[in-house]
Structure formats: C-alpha cells, structure tokens
Structure 1
Amino acid sequence: KKDGSGADAGDCIDCNLCHAVCPTGVDIRQGQQEGCITCGMCIDACAQIMERVGRPLGLIRYASFDELEGKPQLPLLKRPRVIIYLFLILFSFGGIIFGLGNIKMLDIKVLHERQPLFVRLSDGSIQNKYKLKLLNKTGGDISVRILAEGPEGLRMSGMDKALSIPFGRVTPYTVFIRVPKDKLSGERLVLTFRVLDETTGNLIDSYESMFIGPKL
C-alpha cells in the first residue's frame, strides 16, 4: 500500500475501488478476512486501475502464504495436491470408459409371485409363477431365448419360443416353473434364469431367483 512518495512507495493508489466492488464489504487491502468469498471482483477492479496508471498487475491476486513469504514454489505439475487430483480425474475417466465399454445389451429382472408363493398341481408337482422384465439397450429389436436352471426335473412353460424384445422398452413376460415334489430338497431352492442371444447362442444376462415349495 502507498504510504509516501518516491521509488519506495507501494503501487496502491488508494482508489478504494477494490473495497467498493466487494459484495461483502471486505477491504482486501487489510489482508485476507473471514467475509471474503474469493469472487475475484477486487482483482479485476485493481487490474483495470493498474493498467490505467501504468503499474504492474497482480497487486491483488490469488497467492499462497509461501509465495507471499518468498519461499520457492514447486511447478504446478509437481505439487502433491495437483498430482492427487490428476490421478483421481484419470481414475474417474477410466471408470467411465470401462463402464461404457461393458454395458450389457439387455437387462433382466425377475419378480416372484407372492400370492400364492407356490401352487400344488394335480400330479403333485409344485409350481411357481414369475414375472420377467426385459430391457433392451441396443439400437434395435433383438431376439432372445430364456432358459431356467435349478432343481432336477424342472420344467418351464410360457417360454417355448424365442422372444422379440423391442428397443428401449421394458417388456414383461410371465412364466411358470414346475418341479416334481420328490425332486425338492428344501423349502427354498436356487433358480437361475439365463437370457441367450437367439442368433449366436451367447449368454447376454442372467438373474438368480428362488423356487419356493412346501415344508418337507
């Protein structure tokens, strides 16, 4: 701050513009204060005045305490914080690229019918009802086949042929799974639904559910 005349005088000309433009009323000439929101308006105002009077820019600027004390400054790319931030950014971009490259072409969700949990058929076998929801994420319709894997003797009805899944919509299907009672080894058994590409036979997605039967 200017406090006299001559070559040793400071560059500040006491125009008071930095104080006038501050939205919180801080006089930055008194140093960093709690009310400062680092908006930079005082920096811009001071720079304009310095240009007019032919003085060096940067009288008001963002600076660390080490810089103000004249301590040597590390290059930007060698500062620990910058390296950590750079690593986090690269890691985030890598995760995004990996995620985009591994998006499944179709998602399957399986809802087990709750009322009733199971039905005992006339031949003694146990039947469960499921609602399948298929979401096609590709750019066009696809043809798939649904398979079920679980207890021995399992039979599935409602999925006897390939399904055409339209693009961009959730398509519901209802299926029934029946298992002979003598093949049940417990009250709850693991049941896996698999979605296969009808053209290539490749596995697209799978979903693990439960087959529920009576207490043994």
Structure 2
Amino acid sequence: ILIAIYIALPWIPINGSPALFFDVEQRRFHVFGLTLVPQDLWVMFFGVTGLGFTLFFVTALLGRLWCGWACPYTVFLDHVFRRIERWTEGDAVARRRLDGAPWSAAKIARRGTKHLLYAICSTLIAHVFLSYFVSIPRLYDHMHEGPLAHATSFGIVAFLTLTLWFCFGWFREQFCVIMCPYGRLQSALTDDDTVNVGYDEKRGEPRGAKGKAAGDCIDCRRCVSVCPTGIDIRNGLQMECIGCAACIDACDDIMTKIGRPKGLVRYDSLNGLIGKKRRFIRPRVIAYTLLGALGLIAFTIAGWRQARPFTADFTRMRGQPFYTDATAVRNHYQVRFYNKRNQPARFTLHLSSAPEGYTLSGADTPIEVPPRGEITRPAIVVAPTAAYHGATDLGIEIHAEPGGVVLRHEMRFLGPEPSNSQP
C-alpha cells in the first residue's frame, strides 16, 4: 500500500494539479489541492514544523516506527529488492551457499538476473522521484525525445539510478546507520517509557542450551543472523536498530519450536522490560503533541487563507522613492500577478482609497495572465501638486476574473514636504 501511495501521488489530480508536485521550473508547489507560489512558502513552514513534531511524537511514543515500517527507503528495500533477491537466489541459507560456490553459468545467471532486475527497479524509482518535480506529460515527452534533448533530466535519472542501485544492492541498511541522521536524533527524543524492540533480560538470562537450568534464551543467535544491521538486540537498545521486528519474528519462531512462551524479544519500553509500569502520557509526549497540532492547525488555516486562485504582489520600484515636477508627484510601483488556475485570468486595478485627484496609470487597463502564469507590470500613482498634502496611505483593489476575486493592498505614497512641493 505504501509503495502504491508513493508512486501514485504525482498521478492523482486534485483541483487540476497532482496531489503532491514541486514544479521548480515554474516555481509552483502543489500540496493536496493547495497551490503555493514563492510568496506563499511561509505557509510551508507551519506544515513542515507540524509534520516534524508529529514525527517527534511518534518517536517518543513508539521509537523508530517510521524507520522500520514507513520510510520509503525501508519500504522499497524490504518489499521490492529483498523479494527480488529471495526470488533469484533463494533464502539466506541458499544465498550463503551461492556466495561460497565457484563461479559457474548457473551462478552468473542468478546474479545477472538479480542485478538486471535491480537496475530496472532503480530506473523506475528514479523516474517516480523525478515525477514529483517534472509533470507526468513532460516526463513522458522527455523519455521519448532522447537524453540529449533533456540532458538535465537524463542526468538526474542516471545519477539516481546508479545511487539507488548501489544503496539497495549493496549499501542497504548502512545508509540508515551511517548517512541518515534520524538514528542519532532518536536518543534525544526517547526515554525509558518509549516502546522499542527490546530483549527481556530477566527472562532470558543466563543463556544456555535447551534442557539446562538457564533462562529462556538458548543463545541460538537467530536474532543476530536476521538483523539487517547486524546488531545483537540482547546487548540493549542501539542506534543501529531500525525497529523492523525481524529479530522478534525469529525469536518467536524459536520459542514456539522449543515450547516456551513468545515475547522474549518484543516491542516494549525499558521500564516495561524490567517490570515497571509503562507510561504513555508524559511531558515530552504532551509537548510534541501540542507543538505538532499547533503547526498543522496553523498550516491549515494559513493554507486556506492563501488558497486563492489568484495572488498579486505590489512593491515599490528600485531607485528614487518618488519623482516630482511642477505639476505632480509620482510614485512608481511594480505589480506581479500570479494565476494559479488552469485557465486564463484577467486582472484590473484601481485606487479604492486615495485623496481626491490621485490617479493610477500603467496597470489601470485589464491585464491578461496565461494559465498558471505570472506577469509583471509597472504602475504609477500620480498626485497633482494641488492635491498633494504630504505622504499618505493608499488603498488598491485588484479585481480578478473569472470568479470575482478581490485582492486588497495598502501602499504608502511618498513625496516631499508639502511646502516644498508647491510651484
């Protein structure tokens, strides 16, 4: 299901745009029906903050649940590449036997088939990743027009393909241990009540073979052999543990075979493993919950307010703040219109609040903006010398069609001291 979600997000249309799409070239960011332009990126701060503290909350409560069960890297590694490996080379015992066998036609065929499938899957995943930044129709065109016509896209896909092939084919969980900072961050987010994969030392020690007067652990080392990062969970919680539960399944299988209760290795907190009461509600969990909820609520409210199909920025032009002559005082502005819709839009400006005699020129006629486009136009506010009585605030309304959307801006009209502006 997670693989389907990761692949399908750029294909699912919401309000005429992909569910999740970062159009870097056009400077448009589409997030589940919300279209953001660069001026709206402050909204993303709240979304990223909310998601970040939500991850902190999950980590404080359930440890590295994200790493073991939802991280795209782990999902593709376990459910795509490991399955290919098992299909082409067999289980762990068969793979070890194949590793020790001399090179033969059968071994070359198995290894060649595995890496061919690895290369195909890596290429597909690279294209899926690129589809988050290049629209599906354009990506399709890039694929059919050849690499020289779109060298940048081809280079990105080639680099990602080789990187994924290397990581999934050889580097694997070492990426999580060496390169991903989340494992190191975990130590600052968890405490003795956080649920992690743990070994029940009270029940398992002392270790010994079955039939001897010892604990339940028979020291078969199955938990070590199945661990993708090669750690011994019996040595306690370690940074390398990604919470995949492979050691739990292996240990439970052994316990079933020797007629002992399951759960020698299980999901539990450090307090739970030593027999203490486990607390789910505690200060850090409450803090992460409140901060995460605050960020997501702020993102929802800010996103809803910024989800207008049209936006416009009104800024003062560089250079002199105002120009004067014997007849008038002039302020030069720059207006940038953004059309977030898939159809043309028309913008009209006028002064909604200004002293008598003030006029707007340059952008007072209707301005056509193409679908999902932007246009910049100059605008000049002119104040006749007789009507000018000093700096003042102006109200500007921008009417956008279709839809009758009204955008309002306030600008400061600057000029000389009134006594100096008279002829």
Q: List per-residue Cα deviations over 1:143-191 (Å, max 9, x = no partner).
A: 33211233442111123433333221111122221102343333x4323
* 2:379 aligned residue: 175
Distance (Å, rounded) in 2 between the aligned partners of 1:141 and 1:25: 59
Q: How does 1:101-140 map to 2 (within 5 A)?
A: 101-102=304-305, 103-121=307-325, 123-140=326-343
Contact preservation (8 Å) 2:210, 2:218: no
**Aligned partner of residue 107 in structure 1, secondary structure:** strand
* 1:55 aligned residue: 260
2:409 pairs with one of 183, 207, 211: 207
Aligned residue type for 1:213: G
Distance change (3 Å), C-alpha of 1:95 and 1:18: same
Aligned residue type for 2:409: Y
Q: How does 1:21-100 map to 2 (within 5 A)?
A: 26-29=231-234, 31-32=235-236, 35-40=238-243, 41-73=246-278, 79-80=281-282, 94-100=297-303
Aligned residue type for 2:216: D
Query: Residue 194 in 1 paired to residue 362 in 2?
Result: no
Contact preservation (8 Å) 2:209, 2:219: no
- List alignment gaps of at least 5 residues for structure 2: 1-204
Distance change (3 Å), C-alpha of 1:50 and 1:204: farther
* 2:348 aligned residue: 145
Return 80-89 or 57-66, whichever deviates more.
Answer: 80-89
How far is 1:117 from its partner? 3.1
How far is 1:11 from its partner? 1.9
Return the TM-score normalized by structure 2.
0.41
Distance change (3 Å), C-alpha of 1:154 and 1:173: same
Larger radius of gyration: 1
Contact preservation (8 Å) 1:118, 1:212: yes
Distance change (3 Å), C-alpha of 1:185 and 1:99: same
Distance change (3 Å), C-alpha of 1:48 and 1:204: farther
Aligned residue type for 2:260: R
Count the aligned residue pairs: 208
- List alignment gaps of at least 5 residues for structure 1: none
Distance (Å, rounded) in 2 between the aligned partners of 1:167 and 1:66: 59
* 2:108 aligned residue: none
Q: Output the aligned Cα RMSD.
A: 3.5
* 2:362 aligned residue: 158
Return the TM-score normalized by structure 1.
0.73
Contact preservation (8 Å) 1:22, 1:42: yes
Q: List per-residue Cα deviations over 1:96-126 (Å, max 9, x = no partner).
A: 54444431221111232233433324x5211
**Aligned partner of residue 46 in structure 1, secondary structure:** helix
The structure with the greater share of residues assigned to strand is 1
Distance (Å, rounded) in 1 between the aligned partners of 2:413 and 2:331: 7
The structure with the greater share of residues assigned to helix is 2
* 2:189 aligned residue: none
Distance change (3 Å), C-alpha of 1:111 and 1:141: same
**Aligned partner of residue 223 in structure 2, secondary structure:** helix
Aligned residue type for 1:136: N
